[in-house]
Every structure is written in structure tokens, then in C-alpha cells.
Amino acid sequence: MIKTIKLSHEKPITDVKYNSAGDLLFTSAKDKVGPINVWWAENGERIGTYDGHKGAIYSIDVTHDSSLLISGSADNHAKMWEVETGKEITDYQHQNGVRWVAFSQGDDKFLTVTDQSMNVAPEIFIYKVYKDRKDQMKNNQSVQNIKVPLKLHKVHQALWGFHNETVITANSDGTIRIFSTERGKELQVVQAHTDNIMSIQYDKYRGTILTASKDGFGKLIDSRNFEIIKKYSTGRPLNSGAISPLMDHVILGGGEEADEVTRSAASSNQFKVKFYHSIFCDELGSVVGHFGPINCLAFNPNGRSFASGGEDGFVRLHYFDQSYLSRTDEIYNY
């Protein structure tokens, strides 16, 4: 059995992120007021908000020490926040909407990814993180720009590669593309899916990557050579996936878009979070709750709970009971 707590936004959820300690959960949505919230992960109590954007928030990320938060928005801005006080530190102006943001390993840099629009191609910007807040406020220009081929149309998400030497993107043409952060050049293209890759996440040890695609497949990929290791077939468009840090499990979620649901009279069963064995690829079960497509998923770093954010405007915190946690045959040895 799973205990669930429901957290409410006014509009569809766009991102959910736990801090490294697992005691805080940050959520973003398409709300016009209070679009970024922070909650106690243990009980779902809201602690505060980060207000300042004038458009939908697409992506958020937090440093390992939980001191800084970065956000990317449809209003063409990325912003850096002080987590404890909610104070805006720096604003980063872009030409297009900021689709994705991510701190580097070590938190000394962060990246932003812009949307494609008209004849302007997506672009990856890399910024330096300064220890002194005054230096951060004065230096809001990127230190590296990486041009992305226009034919991609959109980069949905991005990861930092090993030692921050590369950036790995999940793209609308079903490819994973690897770019050098030093030279700003494309190094490798992997045709992992036949449709949009909506989500790309590491496992706890960064040895594998889980993708989730509109083609209905989740795929486990070696993070060094980018070979596909495992495939998980769900039979529905996927928007997100996550790898358990405790069990040999992955979770996947998505569903038909709202207009498609109306035409097909699809039931809420398609909005389940599905569990798969990461090695044997068997479907182990599912969790219901959302009344629209699931947009984002994240495991708590302790592996004892996970968060799902949906098009219905709700974040659901799911807590595993002892019958799940007592499966010691599948718990990783630390």
C-alpha cells in the first residue's frame, strides 16, 4: 500500500525537484501567482514561495547544499533565488523562453536551454556561480553558448555529463545529443526514440540514464557509451520517468493530451504511474490518482517516497509502506 498526500497549484505542474537531503520538495507550475513553491517533503506542508516571474515556470533546480534555486520561465528569464529567504539574487535575460535549467556537478556553474521560435534555434547557455552574492548580481552574462541545430525544433531537458565536460540533451526528434562544454560543438547523436523525448534522468550513481518518450517507451541507457540497455513499453505517450535509488525499479508516467482524451473518452487509468523492474522490464504495478497526464516524476533521494506532478494542477506525494520497503532482496548494498 502507498500513502498519498495531495498538494495543490492553480495550473498544470511543470517540474518537481527534491533537494539532496530529501527533506524539501520544490514544485513549479503554469500559475500566474506563486508559481514556485517549497514544501516539507515529510508531510506536504508548504513553507514558502518564490515570486517574480511573469510567465509559466518550465524548470527548477536546487544546489546540493540547498542554498540556491534556479528557475526558467516562458517570460524569457531565468532567475536565481536564495532558498532560505526567497530573495531573488540575479535575473538572466534570454531571447526566448527558458525551457530547462540545471546546476552542474559541484554547483559552480548552471545551464539554461531556450526554446525554438520562428527562425531562432534552441541554444544552451552556461553561467558561472559565484560564492559572493554581490559578484553573482554583477555577473549575469553567460560564459559559454552552445548552438543547437534548428532542425531539432525543441530541447526538452538537459543533463551535465561526466566532470561537466559535456551537456546531454533530450530532443523533440527522438535523439539524445551530446555537446562539448569546452568547444561548444556537437560530439554525438543517438537516435534513442521515434518521437519526442520528454524526460531524461540519471540514476543515483549516474551510471545509467532513463528516458521517457511520446513513443510510449522508457529506455535505460548507459551514460558513458549511450547504448540502450533496457526498454519498457507502456502503450501510452510518456512525459517523465525516474529511477529508484533503493530498488531495481523505475517509474514512468504520462498519458494522452487533454484534447485527445476528450476525443477518445480515455479513462483515468491511463494516468497511472507505472512501476517496472529495471532489469527484467516486467511491469510490477501502478499507482492511480491524477485526472490528467502526468508531467513530471521524482524519487526522494532516500527511496522511501516519490512525487508526481500532473496536468490536473496537483502534486501527489506517495509514501511507501513497510511491505514495500522490506523487500531487502532488491535493496542496493551501499
pLDDT (tens digit per residue) in 247-267: 999 999 999 875 555 444 455
Segment 184-202 shows an average pLDDT of 97
Q: For position 41, what pLDDT does the model report?
A: 96
Place 154 in a pLDDT band, splitting at 50, 70 and 90.
very high
Segment 176-190 shows an average pLDDT of 95
Return the minimum-mean-pLDDT range out of 34-43, 85-94, 179-188, 209-218: 34-43
Three cell numbers written together for 297: 516524476
Segment 88-98 shows an average pLDDT of 95
Return the minimum-mean-pLDDT range out of 5-9, 127-131, 169-173: 5-9
**Residues 41, 300 contacting (CB under 8 angstroms):** yes
Domains, the chain, with CATH or none: 2-330 (2.130.10.10)
Q: For position 153, what pLDDT does the model report?
A: 80
